[in-house]
């Protein structure tokens, strides 16, 4: 469809599969360069707004989004088919995380401000040393397909980069370019009214523009949410730069779930229904979707699988975000079903209309003979049950798992020993361990971590929660510096933020 609009970015309606509007021309390399240079020019002034100024900016962005809620949700629903209830909730999340980063700025501990006064040490005399984190510079942010707000133009990468003092040049996702354009315009106007410098925000459209963006020397870091293939392509461009930059990619995740025998015996039917609700949520287009569920053999485990099968059979085809995801789902889920030792347990109702749709599916295999195909992510409403007979089979299968963003343990009410052993094994393979709940919810908070070992991400950092700001900062130490060249937070007598002074943590007063 897009080939009928060469050089243009079109907005599709996934419910019909038709082009809804032409949003913008593809951004030229020259325009990418202009936006990057504008971001570089804006960086000193954005940093110069200080923590209070940027906190006010973030709150202004949240207010502006909420003021245009009706328009934003309507356009996003037409482009994504995610529904107004889901999208209103996502806008709430987006505004909340903007305001939360404003609180991070005001609290100030993210700076890691540290002062060591001159003194004698076992190594000899020590000079005056003062250290804190400073902005990296302009950041490239790539929006994700599945969250048109919370992980895209106004999302967590943008919020954390702006909080750090870094201008942002955004790559709009092809799944929702009209939403990206609308939200970007709202943010730019709000930023201007809040006193942010011109160039604080920029946006580009098109795959080639994304490559030019990460190659431009003004860009000092990149945040990306998408496929392993897309991440590798950008990393290859970055590695060819004269000065490679940090790349923070959230890439792929299987998110295994372990149902213990005690949990299956106590509430097997409930677990089965809830698991289907989790892996079909948002048409299975969550990076935290449980793609592989370990269920014990025997009658207790049968209750879990039977309830899952019943729920899947009662489901209908779901609309996916775009044509590419729909084609990939059909290809990968078909490959899963045809893998050695895999059986199709249940399917939902087929679609009877146009658009980019997927039929929910439940597949099964054994933990003892786990085929490699089922350890790969399939984006969409499909999950595989692996039946295990005893801890030896379970732990052997867990050893074959790729690392994930999450790993979940569903326990019995009084159970302790097996969950502990499973936890110790899963801890090396996931960034968030979930107990007696489901991984598809990712709360935005101070304690959240949304990341994990490769291939779930390519760094140790999080893209959700307050410590996401750390990605876009770097440490600087001032040695023997006069007071008038120091940042305010490192000057003598400053008490506005937590600081460690001569090894002792001192809190604001």
* Enzyme catalytic residues: 250, 287
Q: CB neighbours of 450 closer than 8 A, spacing ≥ 6?
A: 250, 405, 431, 432, 442, 462, 463, 464, 465
Q: CB neighbours of 219 closer than 8 A, spacing ≥ 6?
A: 36, 39, 137, 138, 139, 140, 169, 213, 245
d(CA 94, CA 294): 34
At 428 the three-state DSSP class reads helix
| CA dihedral (35, 37, 38, 42) positive or negative | positive
Of 497, 312, 293, the closest CA to residue 387 belongs to 293
Cα distance from N-terminal residue to C-terminal residue, the chain: 62
d(CA 95, CA 40): 26
Residue 11 · residue 23 · CB < 8 Å: yes
Region of 205 (left: φ > 0; alpha: ψ -120 to 50; beta: rest) is beta
Q: Which residues partner with 474 through β-bridges?
A: 134
DSSP state of 26: P
H-state helical runs in 252-385: 261-279, 299-313, 323-338
Residue 203 · residue 173 · CB < 8 Å: no
């Amino acid at each position: 469809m897009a080939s009928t609009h060469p050089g243009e970015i079109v907005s599709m309606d996934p419910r019909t599969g038709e082009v809804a509007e032409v949003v913008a021309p593809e951004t030229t390399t020259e325009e990418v360069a202009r936006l990057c240079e504008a971001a570089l020019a804006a960086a000193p002034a954005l940093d110069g707004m200080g923590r209070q100024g940027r906190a006010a900016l973030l709150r202004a962005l949240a207010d502006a989004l909420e003021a245009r809620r009706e328009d934003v949700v309507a356009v996003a629903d037409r482009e994504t088919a995610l529904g107004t209830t889901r999208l209103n909730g996502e806008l709430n999340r987006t505004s909340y995380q903007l305001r939360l980063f404003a609180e991070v700025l005001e609290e100030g501990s993210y700076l890691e401000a540290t002062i060591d006064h001159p003194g004698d040490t076992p190594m000899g005399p020590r000079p005056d040393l003062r250290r804190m984190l400073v902005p990296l510079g302009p950041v490239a942010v790539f929006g994700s397909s599945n969250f048109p707000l919370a992980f895209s133009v106004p999302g967590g990468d943008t919020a954390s980069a702006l909080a750090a003092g870094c201008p942002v040049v955004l790559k709009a996702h092809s799944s929702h370019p009209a939403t990206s354009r609308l939200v970007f315009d709202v943010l730019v106007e709000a930023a201007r009214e809040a006193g942010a410098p011109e160039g604080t925000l920029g946006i580009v459209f098109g795959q080639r523009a994304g490559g030019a963006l990460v190659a431009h020397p003004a860009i000092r870091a990149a945040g990306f949410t998408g496929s392993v293939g897309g991440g590798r392509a950008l990393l290859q461009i970055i590695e060819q730069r004269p000065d490679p930059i940090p790349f923070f990619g959230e890439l792929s995740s299987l998110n295994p779930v372990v149902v213990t025998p005690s949990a299956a015996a106590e509430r097997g039917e409930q677990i089965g229904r809830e698991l289907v609700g989790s892996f079909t949520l948002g048409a299975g287009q969550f990076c935290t979707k449980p793609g592989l569920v370990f269920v014990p053999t025997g009658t207790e485990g049968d209750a879990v699988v039977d309830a899952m099968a019943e729920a899947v059979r009662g489901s209908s085809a779901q609309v996916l975000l775009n044509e590419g995801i729909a084609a990939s789902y059909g290809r990968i889920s078909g490959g899963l079903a045809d893998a050695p030792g895999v059986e199709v347990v249940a399917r939902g109702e087929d679609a009877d209309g146009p658009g980019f749709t997927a039929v929910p599916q439940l597949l099964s295999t054994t933990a003892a003979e786990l085929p490699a195909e089922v350890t790969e992510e399939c984006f969409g409403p499909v999950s595989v049950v692996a039946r295990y007979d005893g801890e030896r089979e379970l732990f052997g299968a867990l050893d074959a798992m790729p690392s994930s963003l999450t790993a979940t343990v569903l326990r019995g009410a009084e159970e302790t020993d097996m969950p502990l052993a499973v936890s110790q094994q899963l801890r090396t393979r996931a960034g968030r361990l979930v107990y007696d709940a489901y991984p598809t919810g990712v709360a935005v908070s101070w304690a959240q971590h949304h990341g994990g070992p490769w291939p779930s991400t390519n760094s140790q950092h999080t893209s959700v929660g307050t410590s996401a700001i750390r990605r876009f900062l770097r440490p600087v130490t001032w040695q023997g510096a006069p007071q008038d060249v120091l940042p305010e937070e490192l000057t003598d007598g400053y008490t506005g933020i937590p600081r460690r002074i001569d090894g002792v943590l001192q809190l604001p007063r």
